[in-house]
Amino acid sequence: MQQELAELLNKKVAFFNHPRFIEHDPISIPHLFKKPQDIEIMGFWIAMLAWGQRKTILQKGRELIDLMDGAPHDFVLNHQSQDLKRFESFKHRTFNSTDALYFLSFFQRHYQQHDSLEIAFTQGEFNPENESIEQALNGFYTYFFDSEWAPQRTKKHVSAPSKNSACKRLCMFLRWMVRNDQAGVDFGIWSKIQPHQLICPLDVHSQRTAEKLGLVNAGPTHWKKALDLTRVLKQFNPIDPVQYDFALYGMGIEEKTLWK
């Protein structure tokens, strides 16, 4: 049974971990860029906005790019105060202009001192020997909101394991940045965090599939469930367990399509 499950998951990874699936996925937004900092900025931002209809998510990503004159990193470092007025009308579901302006202030604060966003995840509680990215995510949360100007409302848009969140969007973003399997989907531009430390993103599709396959128990989504799922996936691939995110999500979408 275990061997059959491994073969099924590996088959689905091979099918879904392919550039043909980029076009309609949020990862298509950072794929519009070559500069690492642009990839990081738009990857993080679109990951944080990745809830709701995919078409709308992608529209909002392109809107953000236009608001930053097509050059996110350059805009973050060199914009003038009057340039921020254009963000006053930006909105995606509960994410509004207040949140957008704080994201910009964070990016500016960070990139004025560092060349890569990876440092924001690895300079705090993270240790290369950590089993997972749990400490990296908690440290990032503290670092991200380490400002007297941090709006309370924005804290609902950036999660942390310490809040018992499954941190789906952050785990997805880190998958994009860390995994480098040459398949042409994930970027693999970071090196301090290793693939075996990543945690599988848990969304409604992947969780439904994982439950049906008996990989996790049915019930609410939280950080422990994401950890439990990843530990099971490590039985199939201890070096790169999060590759199975492609299989679980893809199988969930397949099932949803079949029942339409």
13 within 8 A of 243, measured Cβ to Cβ:
yes
- Supply the DSSP symbol for 216: S
Q: How far apart are CA 60 and CA 46, in angstroms?
A: 8
Res. 256: pLDDT tops 80: no
Cross-strand pairs, 95: 92
pLDDT in tens, 105-122: 999 999 999 999 999 999
Q: How far apart are CA 57 and CA 7, in angstroms?
A: 33
Residue 1 pLDDT: 67
Decide: pTM greater than 0.85.
Answer: yes
Task: Report how many helices (DSSP H) and strands (DSSP E) the chain contains, helices first.
Answer: 11, 0
- Residue 211 one-letter amino acid: E
Q: What are phi and psi of 95, to 5 degrees?
A: -85, 120
125 within 8 A of 135, measured Cβ to Cβ:
yes
Token pair of 81, please?
A: 């105060």
Res. 124: pLDDT tops 70: yes
73 within 8 A of 38, measured Cβ to Cβ:
yes
Question: Tokens 């924001």 appear where?
Answer: 120
Residue 258 pLDDT: 37
pLDDT in tens, 2-52: 899 999 999 999 999 999 999 999 999 999 999 999 999 999 999 999 998
Q: How far apart are CA 53 and CA 92, in angstroms?
A: 11
Q: How far apart are CA 5 and CA 3, in angstroms?
A: 5
Higher pLDDT among residues 204 and 125, named by residue: 204
Average pLDDT (80-88) is: 97
